[in-house]
Amino acid sequence: MNTKAVFRQLNAVKNNSLTKLTFLGRPLLFYWRLLRQSSYIIANGEYDCERWLIFSDRQVCFLVISKAACTSIRCAIGSSYGIAVDGSQNIHDEQLWYLHQGKLSKFHNEYYKFCFVRNPFERLVSCYLDCIVTRSIKNGRESNWYDSYIYPIPSVVSFAEFVQIITSIPDRISERHFKSQSYWIYHKNTLKVDFIGRVEYIKEDWKKMADRFNFVDKIPHENRSDTLERDYDYRKYYDVGLAKMVYRRYRNDVELLGYKNDYIRLLDYLSN
């Protein structure tokens, strides 16, 4: 047995023991994760720093924004480098990429930078379906994506309850799947990227990047099959009160990223 396998087993034993032992009604594993994540926030100033994929041969950086077609874009870029996107390789395996976490260095000042964004109301529904509903069913009703997150989010929770929880969490300590997109894209009102593509126009916008940097221009629809309700209408998860709550939380995304008309249309749909 190699060293990594030994450490995995020891870690499993530790997690199992900390799960069984409780204090004040919570497993000790909760307090262990709370301490570890609090230390990370103190050291880095936030939870989930910005993540960049850097391609020095093309002098371009891709700012990864979760739940905004990042898997599809990784597949398109990966195909350009001979990375298998047929499922035989995990496209999110960090060893496949030059992944930089945190602010870019001055060395990358001259690199072209781009990202993709998504309607924040639809993005939040996608987050709920993927990280709560789908993960809970796959892993058992007692488990979801946020088991190790600093804020407890139940596995069995309605979308309305999910919204009430995450809208009370400031961006600095938000998990990346529901952290504001504009939080990463802007720094003191200054745009950090040269191009912002939109998921709603992904074929056209991706082609601009593919043509400019010689990437594969075909963009696959990845990760949607992991969501149980893949053909969902995100508007049906909202009522007027929830829509306004999400608008208040993600107002910068709505205003700065050009989704004000989508918000108005959502309110009109919910009012009729």
**Confidence tier at 162 by pLDDT (50, 70, 90):** very high
Contact 254, 176 (CB under 8 A): no
pLDDT, greater one: 231 or 29 = 231
Judged against a pLDDT cut of 90, whether residue 230 lies above it is answered with no
**Domain identity same for 27 and 87:** no
Tokens representing residue 213 in the block: 């940097």
The pLDDT value given to residue 152 = 75
Lowest mean pLDDT among 103-107, 199-203, 219-223, 245-249: 219-223
**Domain identity same for 77 and 38:** no
Separation between Cα atoms, residue 272 and residue 266, nearest integer Å:
10
Widest CA span of the chain, in angstroms? 63
Contact 73, 116 (CB under 8 A): yes
- C-beta atoms surrounding 7 within 10 Å: 10
Tokens representing residue 8 in the block: 């995995």
Tokens representing residue 257 in the block: 């990223």
Judged against a pLDDT cut of 60, whether residue 246 lies above it is answered with yes
What pTM was estimated for this model as a whole?
0.81
Lowest mean pLDDT among 61-70, 144-153, 174-183, 184-193: 144-153
pLDDT, greater one: 105 or 229 = 105
The pLDDT value given to residue 92 = 78
Tokens representing residue 15 in the block: 């997690």
**Domain identity same for 148 and 166:** yes
Mean pLDDT of 173-184: 94
Separation between Cα atoms, residue 170 and residue 214, nearest integer Å:
38
**Domain identity same for 40 and 146:** no
- The contacts of residue 223 (CB under 8 Å, 6+ apart) are 71, 72, 130
Task: Say how many domains are in the chain.
Answer: 2
Helix (DSSP H) and strand (DSSP E) numbers for the chain: 11, 9
**Domain identity same for 74 and 165:** yes
Q: Provide DSSP, 46-71.
A: SSS--EEEEETTTTEEEEE-TTSSHH
**Confidence tier at 12 by pLDDT (50, 70, 90):** very low
pLDDT, greater one: 256 or 147 = 256
**Domain identity same for 242 and 168:** yes
**Domain identity same for 30 and 56:** no
**Domain identity same for 91 and 15:** no
**Confidence tier at 164 by pLDDT (50, 70, 90):** very high
Tokens representing residue 24 in the block: 């004040």
Separation between Cα atoms, residue 159 and residue 125, nearest integer Å:
8
Mean pLDDT of 51-77: 94
Judged against a pLDDT cut of 90, whether residue 256 lies above it is answered with yes
Contact 72, 219 (CB under 8 A): yes
Q: Which residue segment(s) compose the domain that 179 sits in?
A: 46-271
**Domain identity same for 65 and 1:** no
**Confidence tier at 4 by pLDDT (50, 70, 90):** very low
**Domain identity same for 41 and 59:** no
Contact 40, 28 (CB under 8 A): no
The pLDDT value given to residue 35 = 65
Judged against a pLDDT cut of 60, whether residue 95 lies above it is answered with yes
Tokens representing residue 78 in the block: 């990966």
Judged against a pLDDT cut of 90, whether residue 155 lies above it is answered with no
**Domain identity same for 77 and 16:** no
Backbone phi, psi, residue 100, to 5°: -110, 125
Quick: pLDDT tens for 104-120: 989 999 999 999 999 99
Taking the CA atoms of the chain, what radius of gyration do you get in angstroms?
20
Tokens representing residue 5 in the block: 């396998």
**Confidence tier at 68 by pLDDT (50, 70, 90):** very high
The pLDDT value given to residue 89 = 66
The pLDDT value given to residue 13 = 41
**Domain identity same for 25 and 115:** no
**Confidence tier at 225 by pLDDT (50, 70, 90):** very low
Q: Where are the alpha helices (DSSP H) in 55-189?
A: 70-80, 120-127, 135-139, 159-166, 181-185
The pLDDT value given to residue 6 = 38
